[in-house]
Amino acid sequence: MGSQASTLLRHEELEEIKKETGFSHSQIARLYKRFTSLDVNGVGALSREDFLRIPELAINPLGDRIISAFFPEGEDEANFRVFIRILARFRPISDKEKSKDAKGPEPLNSRSNKLRFAFQLYDLDKDDKISRSELIQVLRMMVGVNISEEQLGVMADRTIQEADEDGDGAISFTEFVKVFEKTGIEQKMSIQFLD
C-alpha cells in the first residue's frame, strides 16, 4: 500500500526535479500521474500521437508547434524529465524568485526562458532567427485559410520592420526580447499551478 505515483520516481530523482523546476513534491506527483495517464501504451515516454490524443490540444492552431517543443532534438519520445522541464517554464515567477540575483543557474521559469519558449515557436529551423518566411508560416497556422498570402506578407514585413534593429531582415532573440521590454508577459506565459 504505497503512494504509487511518487514511489515510481526515486527519491533522489524527485529532489533533482524539485531543484531544477521549482515544483513542489505534490505538484510533481500530480504531474507524474498526468504523464502516466497520457502514456497509454505504458512505455514511459510520450510520443506525438499521445499529445494529439488530447482534443483541446489537437484543435489548437499552434498545436503542432507546441508539441514540437517537447521533442527538441528531433527524437520520437519525450520522457518525464523533458515533460516537466517544459511545463516548468510556465510556472509563475514568484516574488521570492524575482529578488534572487543571478546566483546559480537561471530558473526555468525566468522571464528570459519564457520568451525563449515563445521565440522557439516561431523559429522553425532553429537557427536562432525568425525569418520572414518562418513568420508567414506560423501566421498561416494561426489563421488557416482565412487570410490571403499577400496580406500575411504585409503583416510579416511590418512586424519585422518594427523589431529588426541590425537590418538583417530577421528577428534575433535579443531583438525579440527588446520588443517586450516594456510589456509584462509574466501573466500571459504563466499557468496557475495549484499546490
Partner 1 sequence: MKERLGRVEHSGRGTEANRGECREAAAAAALTFRGLGLRSAPAALPGLPGDRATSRSDLHRGSLERVRRAMDGADLAGKILSTWLTLVLGLILLPSAFGVSLGISEIYMKILVKTLEWATIRIEKGTPKESVLKNSASVGIIQRDESPMEKGLSGLRGRDFELSDVFYFSKKGLEAIVEDEVTQRFSSEELVSWNLLTRTNINFQYISLRLTMVWVLGVLVRYCVLLPLRVTLAFIGISLLVIGTTLVGQLPDSSLKNWLSELVHLTCCRICVRSLSGTIHYHNKQYRPQKGGICVANHTSPIDVLILTTDGCYAMVGQVHGGLMGIIQRAMVKACPHVWFERSEMKDRHLVTKRLKEHIADKKKLPILIFPEGTCINNTSVMMFKKGSFEIGGTIHPVAIKYNPQFGDAFWNSSKYNMVSYLLRMMTSWAIVCDVWYMPPMTREEGEDAVQFANRVKSAIAVQGGLTELPWDGGLKRGKVKDTFKEEQQKNYSKMIVGNGSLNSESD
Confirm or reject binding of residue 136 to partner 1 (CB under 8 A): no
Q: How many residues make contact with partner 1 (CB under 8 A)?
A: 66
Q: Which of 94, 112, 148, 174 binds partner 1 (CB under 8 A)?
A: 148
Written as one string, the DSSP assignment of 78-147 is B-HHHHHHHHHTTSPPPHHHHHS-S-SSPPTTSHHHHHHHHHHHH-TT-SSEE-HHHHHHHHHHHHTTSS
Whole-number minimum distance, CB 167 to partner 1, in Å? 18
Q: Which three cell numbers stand for residue 83?
A: 515533460
Q: Which of 62, 72, 126, 127 binds partner 1 (CB under 8 A)?
A: 62
Whole-number minimum distance, CB 103 to partner 1, in Å? 27
Q: How far apart are CA 17 and CA 25, in angstroms?
A: 9
- Residues in 78-117 that interact with partner 1 by CB under 8 A: 86-87, 90, 117
Confirm or reject binding of residue 25 to partner 1 (CB under 8 A): yes
Confirm or reject binding of residue 172 to partner 1 (CB under 8 A): no
Q: Which of 68, 121, 132, 153 binds partner 1 (CB under 8 A)?
A: 121
SS3 (DSSP) at 58: helix
Confirm or reject binding of residue 45 to partner 1 (CB under 8 A): no
CB closer to partner 1 out of 5 and 20: 5
Which DSSP letter does residue 190 get?
-
Which DSSP letter does residue 19 get?
H
CB closer to partner 1 out of 19 and 25: 25
Stretch that binds partner 1, among 12-20, 32-40, 98-106 (CB under 8 A): 32-40
Confirm or reject binding of residue 58 to partner 1 (CB under 8 A): yes
Place of cell 524568485: 97
Confirm or reject binding of residue 43 to partner 1 (CB under 8 A): no
Confirm or reject binding of residue 133 to partner 1 (CB under 8 A): no
- What are the φ/ψ torsions at residue 130 (nearest 5 degrees)? -100, 110
Confirm or reject binding of residue 34 to partner 1 (CB under 8 A): yes
For the chain, the first-to-last Cα distance in angstroms comes to: 24
Confirm or reject binding of residue 124 to partner 1 (CB under 8 A): no
| Residues in a beta bridge with 46 | 78
Q: How far apart are CA 8 and CA 90, in angstroms?
A: 25
